[in-house]
Amino acid sequence: MAKTQFFKYEGLENDFILIPEIPGFTQDQVRELCDRHRGIGADGLIFVFFYEDLWTMRVYNTDGSLAEMCGNGIRCVAQWLFDQGHVVKEIQTDAGVKTCVQELGLWSVDMGMAQIEGNRVSMGNPHSVFLGPVLPEKIDPNTNTEFVQINHPRDIEVRIFERGVGETQACGTGACASVALLVSNHQLPADQEITVHLKGGNLYITARQTANGLQMQMKGPARYVFEGEVSVR
């Protein structure tokens, strides 16, 4: 039975298993490692590897499905690379290259352009955003779903149900999608930092108005939890 080195990191209680190698696990193996009773336990598994002159991340949900992008996950990867002594400003994801900068203990990430159609928002991965309380009938298992409450013009609360995972404590792309939709609807201001309250803590999101649309900036923490070796069947 092979043993694999892993690192556990979390961003606002959204926790991930980081494995420093090229992806090679089956969906069943990903599910087992993310299982909180039979495995390490996590909201997702991220492979981190160096490819074509860039550090690259590949994210999998707890059900073994591929996630194109993960906002909390990329901050965890940036923190892991920093902890390993690497000087990194760009990380390749399946949603493109993202720039990461450390600011006073937090990670600021250029999340790219939000693509909006109705209440659907793409941050490299799909989101459906609803204003109001959680309504189970609106949760679509094929997309990430956010329910938003506006506290005041620069302060919102968001509950997030992630595709392939269920409700999570936080989601970086979900926070960006929520702010992007409300800014596009003129319910939040552009070019100002919005505090997004999530179950696991706060993210700070800015939607910058450009000629091409809304460019999203995310700022938040990431933290090392533990590391070890795990047997992979």
Ordered by start, the domain boundaries in the chain are 2-101+222-232, 111-220
Mean pLDDT estimate for the chain: 96
Q: What angle do CA 55, 11, 7 make, to 5 degrees?
A: 55
The yes-or-no answer on residue 34 being catalytic is no
CA 5 centroid distance within chain: 22
Q: Which CATH number fits domain 2-101+222-232: 3.10.310.10, 3.40.190.10, 3.30.70.3000, 3.90.320.10?
A: 3.10.310.10
**pLDDT per residue over 143-161, tens digit each?**
999 999 999 999 999 999 9
> What token pair was written down for 173?
């792309």
pLDDT, residue 232, reads 85
**pLDDT per residue over 74-129, tens digit each?**
999 999 999 999 999 999 999 999 999 999 999 999 999 999 999 999 999 999 99
Q: Which of 70, 76, 100, 176 is catalytic?
A: 70
DSSP secondary-structure letter at 35? -
Contacts of 211 (CB under 8 A, 6+ apart): none
CA 95 centroid distance within chain: 12
pLDDT, residue 34, reads 97
* Mean pLDDT to the nearest integer, 15-34: 96
Query: Residue 135: which pLDDT band, with cuts at 50, 70 and 90?
Result: very high
pLDDT, residue 211, reads 97
pLDDT, residue 140, reads 94
Same fold flag, 2-101+222-232 and 111-220 = yes
Whole-number Cα distances in Å, 162 to 69, 106, 173, 233 = 12, 23, 10, 27
pLDDT, residue 231, reads 87
Rounded-to-integer distance, Cα 70 and Cα 184, Å: 22
User: What is the architecture of the domain spanning 111-220?
Assistant: Roll (3.10)
Rounded-to-integer distance, Cα 122 and Cα 38, Å: 33
pLDDT, residue 1, reads 61
Contacts of 104 (CB under 8 A, 6+ apart): none
Q: Which of 34, 76, 171, 176 is catalytic?
A: 171
Q: Beta strands of 104-153 (E only): which ranges? A: 106-113, 115-117, 120-122, 126-131, 144-152
pTM: 0.95
Q: Which of 1-10, 139-148, 184-193 has the lowest mean pLDDT?
A: 1-10
CA 45 centroid distance within chain: 12
* Mean pLDDT to the nearest integer, 163-180: 97
Rounded-to-integer distance, Cα 67 and Cα 61, Å: 6
Percent of the chain with pLDDT over 70: 100
Query: Residue 2: which pLDDT band, with cuts at 50, 70 and 90?
Result: confident
The yes-or-no answer on residue 70 being catalytic is yes
Q: What is the DSSP string of 145-177?
A: EEEEEEEETTEEEEEEEETTTEEES--HHHHHH
